[in-house]
Structure 1
């Protein structure tokens, strides 16, 4: 195996493992934080519904919409809380995967800085495969909804992943996939509908 192929394989593995680690952290955050935020939000809006300002709103449709939305958000909070029983496992696996990402990063730069051909490439390749096998064993496949969307942001904005981007030649569409744009367009349409319905 030549040096370039080995470096590319390490970068590809690091991308998959780093992205997977961040995905576990995003799932952990969703299960840990969202039920609390939803509880606070529902409580604040519930108190507002008891206030004099809310009672002065003449539009019954708006009042019904707020009440129905609160029920829906409350149910989502309960479901997230129930699904998050093993949330600590996502944190543990995420940390392990990020340690492997860092190990692959060190391995990548160690090989990249070597002059001439790689004499012991078999040991690097063996270690890379051991890491892949261990990650396959420990990773959790049941991720929370929307984690893929947030993981792109978490991976490319908060990690030292420039070496992966350069080695794999990841472009704009790789770092900002089409579903980000689709989501943005969907949100703009929803906002426009709300504005024009009033």
Structure 2
């Protein structure tokens, strides 16, 4: 394989691995933080409802609290494996760093061809095999959105961007954009109806 294709493949694999790591960390963060936050908010609102029992929308607020509690229960199902998400996320970061090292070695090398049994190709394949073997496919809802944020706004990914040339469309998930547009349309229609 020509050097240009090899470094591009390294960058694509590096992106997949770092994105996978960020998804694992997103699931871990949500399992650790969200149930406590939801409990605090719902308890605070519940206390406020006791203080103001005549509030016009108490039934709707109670419904929202029940939905929030169901979300917290759903998130807590991941509790038994939360440390596994963290450990695998850390290992995926290490794999990403090793791929980055291979990338810089290939960029600075005079070698123009990388055959299937070259040390670099074998190492890349070994790292990717480990990535596929250890990754957990069951991730929490909206972990994609948080992973995009963690990757594009909290991480150093310039070496991948040299090959991939990310645009804003890559940095903001399509499902997030559709959700925001849908919410805006809903709010506009709500104001028109009311």
Q: Please, what TM-score do these two structures have when normalized by structure 2?
A: 0.90
Whole-Å Cα distance in 1 between the matches of residues 105 and 3 of structure 2?
Answer: 11
Aligned to 1:4: 4
Q: How does 1:140-159 map to 2 (within 5 A)?
A: 140-159=136-155
2:95 pairs, out of 87, 93, 100, with 100
Deviation at 1:15, TM superposition (A): 0.5
The alignment yields a C-alpha RMSD, in angstroms, of 2.0
Give the superposition deviation at 1:119.
7.3
Shift, 1:18, TM fit? 0.5
When residues 55 and 161 of structure 1 are mapped into structure 2, their CA distance, relative to the original with a 3 A threshold, is: same
Q: Following the alignment from structure 1 to structure 2, what is the Cα–Cα distance between the partners of residues 85 and 195?
A: 44
The alpha-carbon deviation at position 179 of structure 1 amounts to: 2.1
Which residue does the alignment assign to 1:55?
53
Aligned pair count? 193
Report what 2:104 is aligned to.
Answer: 109
Q: Which shifted more, 89-98 or 157-166?
A: 157-166
Gaps of 5+ in 1: none
Deviation by residue 1:107-153 (Cα, 9 ceiling, x = unmatched)? 11121122353678811110000011111111111100111122111
Could you tell me how far apart the structure 1 residues matched to 2:187 and 2:41 are?
A: 20
Pair 1:85 & 2:80 matched = yes
Name the CA distance, whole Å, in 2 between partners of 1:193 and 1:91.
42
- TM norm structure 1: 0.89
Contact 1:111 1:118 in 2 (8 A): no
How many angstroms apart in 1 are the aligned matches of 2:187 and 2:48? 23
Q: How does 1:117-136 map to 2 (within 5 A)?
A: 117=112, 122-136=118-132
The corresponding residue for 1:18 is: 18
Q: Which runs of 4+ in 1 moved over 6 A?
A: none
In structure 2, list runs of 5 or more residues that go unmatched.
Answer: none
State the secondary structure of the residue aligned to 2:118: helix
- Pick closer, same or farther for the CA change 1:119–1:178 going to 2, 3 Å: closer
Query: C-alpha offsets along residues 52-99 of structure 1, whole Å, 9 cap, x if unaligned?
Result: xx2343x2xx11000111111112112211232211100000000011
Q: Which residue does the alignment assign to 2:68?
A: 73
Asked if the contact 2:2–2:113 (Cα under 8 Å) also holds between the matched residues in 1, the reply is yes
